[in-house]
């Protein structure tokens, strides 16, 4: 396998002086092309900060991130992110199809190709026929499927997922986990997923990276040697799954993970950055895959009035 992602000595610090908070410190790891890797660690340990540094949404204080050999500076065109809060990462005034097409608008893709690719990816996530609906007309699980479809429509080399199933019910969560594994297998995608759920990390991943409390450091890199075909009941009841789950749980309770008293919650990104925006349009812009989409989103995203005008 070729190396898709290389993180070397990555450090990120919020603030300066006495108010400084080091969220991640000197992280080094690689992700191979076609892998599905999970990052698991205590709440507030810096997992989301790590993903935002990898995605280029916030700059690292030290170290480097390389995507298929090229150093990340800003948001790469061939990277996409799925965030936890689907209700704030979709444009409520755009239809499902328009939401999915959004990243392609900034890649100079023709209208016909945008519609075709959006329809194809919606079908792949089990949402064929809902393109004309609006996000608010869908259930939470369906909205997160739309977010996943939008991330996949630009065919990213790397898909980052930040606790993407934490806001849905248990049954929907299982369905979305299976969807993620199926999409990863069918498309050969490289996925790095952050979760605080031990069972989810073992069920989904080829590898599990276990982080310590903040400032995050890698305390273990586990290979998950489960069959490629997994089932929510059979796999989770298997001795191998139970053993791996226990190993991750023991690591999370180990002195290595609990070693630091610096347990402050992750500080929001500095005001003015993509990560700091609370409005739905800004969170949705974060989920787009190109620099141009993010830079233009604030002024170029269709407002409800503009959308209505465009239909006339």
Provide DSSP, 61-72. SEEEEEETTEEP
| Residue closest to 191 by CA, chosen among 151, 230, 159, 238 | 159
The residues near 69 (Cβ < 8 Å, ≥ 6 apart) are 3, 6
CATH topology of domain 3-76+157-311: Rossmann fold (3.40.50)
pLDDT at 260: 56
* DSSP label at residue 255: T
Query: 215: cis peptide before it, omega within 30°?
Result: yes
Residue 26 backbone zone (phi > 0: left; psi -120 to 50: alpha; other: beta): left
Q: State whether residue 210 is helix, strand or coil.
A: strand
pLDDT at 7: 96
pLDDT (tens, 9 = 90+) of the chain, 312 residues, equals 799 999 999 999 988 887 888 889 899 999 999 999 999 998 888 888 999 999 999 999 999 999 999 999 888 888 999 988 887 889 999 999 999 999 998 888 999 999 999 999 999 999 999 999 999 999 999 999 999 999 999 999 999 999 999 888 899 999 999 999 998 998 889 999 999 999 999 999 999 999 988 888 899 999 999 999 999 999 999 999 999 999 999 999 987 777 654 443 343 434 333 333 333 444 454 554 443 344 344 334 455 544 444 443
Instruction: Classify residue 120 by burial, with Cβ atoms within 10 Å: 0-12, 13-18, 19+.
Output: middle
Please say whether the dihedral angle defined by the alpha carbons of residues 60, 161, 72 and 58, taken in this order, is positive or negative. negative
């Amino acid at each position: 396998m070729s190396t898709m992602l290389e993180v070397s000595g990555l450090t990120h610090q919020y603030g300066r002086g006495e108010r400084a908070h080091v969220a991640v410190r000197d992280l080094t790891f690689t992700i191979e092309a076609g892998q599905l890797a999970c990052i698991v660690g205590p709440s507030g340990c810096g997992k989301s900060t790590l993903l935002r540094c990898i995605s280029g949404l916030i700059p690292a204080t030290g170290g480097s991130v390389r995507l298929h050999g090229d150093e990340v500076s800003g948001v790469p065109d061939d990277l996409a992110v799925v965030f936890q809060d689907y209700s704030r990462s979709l444009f409520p005034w755009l239809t499902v199809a328009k939401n999915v097409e959004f990243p392609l608008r900034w890649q100079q893709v023709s209208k016909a190709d945008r519609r075709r690719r959006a329809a194809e990816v919606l079908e792949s996530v089990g949402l064929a026929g809902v393109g004309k609906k609006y996000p608010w007309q869908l259930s939470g699980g369906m909205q997160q499927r739309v977010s996943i479809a939008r991330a996949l429509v630009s065919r990213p080399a790397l898909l980052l997922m930040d606790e993407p199933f934490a806001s849905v019910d248990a049954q929907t969560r299982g369905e979305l986990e299976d969807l993620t594994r199926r999409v990863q297998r069918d498309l050969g995608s490289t996925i790095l997923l952050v979760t605080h759920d031990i069972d989810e990390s073992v069920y989904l991943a080829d590898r599990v990276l276990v982080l310590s409390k903040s400032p995050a450091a890698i305390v273990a890199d586990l290979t998950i040697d489960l069959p490629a075909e997994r089932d929510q009941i059979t796999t989770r009841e298997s001795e191998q799954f139970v053993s791996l789950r226990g190993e991750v749980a023991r690591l999370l309770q180990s002195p290595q993970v609990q070693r630091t008293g610096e347990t402050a919650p992750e500080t929001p990104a500095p005001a003015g950055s993509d990560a700091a925006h609370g409005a739905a349009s800004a969170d949705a812009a974060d989920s787009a895959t190109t620099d141009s989409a993010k830079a233009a989103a604030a002024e170029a995203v269709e407002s409800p009035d503009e959308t209505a005008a465009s239909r006339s």
